[in-house]
Amino acid sequence: MYKAKVNITLRKSILDPKGKAANHALQNLGLTAVDDVRIGKFIEIDIDAESEEKAHEVAEASCKQLLANEVMEDYSITIEEYSPELK
């Protein structure tokens, strides 16, 4: 089994109002070293595939067809091996 970890964020060119609001709040907390905040989604997918490559293909297809909307979002995928019994 493999675990795909998917990060989805708004495309860089798009204003992220949630990130901006969080950034303002962090500034108000005195964390002025914070320069920018982007808020996105983190999705874990357990995939039963024979190889890491195949697992990546499944994750990629999942992102393209449903999980991300490429009109406004970018995504990145990392694949890890994982054993369900060690959960």
Task: Say how far apart CA 42 and CA 53 lie, in whole Å.
Answer: 21
Stretch that binds another protein, among 17-25, 44-52, 53-61, 75-83 (CB under 8 A): 17-25
Helices and strands: H and E segment counts in the chain: 2, 3
Least Å distance, CB 72 to another protein, is 4
Give me the sign of the Cα torsion angle 60, 62, 68, 71. Answer: positive
Site membership for another protein, residue 12 (CB under 8 A): no
15 binds another protein (CB under 8 A): yes
Alpha carbon distance 52, 3 (integer Å): 9
Figure out which of the listed residues 4, 10, 63, 77 binds another protein, where binding follows CB under 8 A: 10
Q: Which residues between 39 and 68 bind another protein (CB under 8 A)? A: 66-67
Q: What pairing do the DSSP bridges indicate for beta strands 41-47 and 73-81?
A: unpaired
- Contact footprint for another protein (CB under 8 A): 10, 13-15, 17-18, 21, 66-67, 69, 71-72
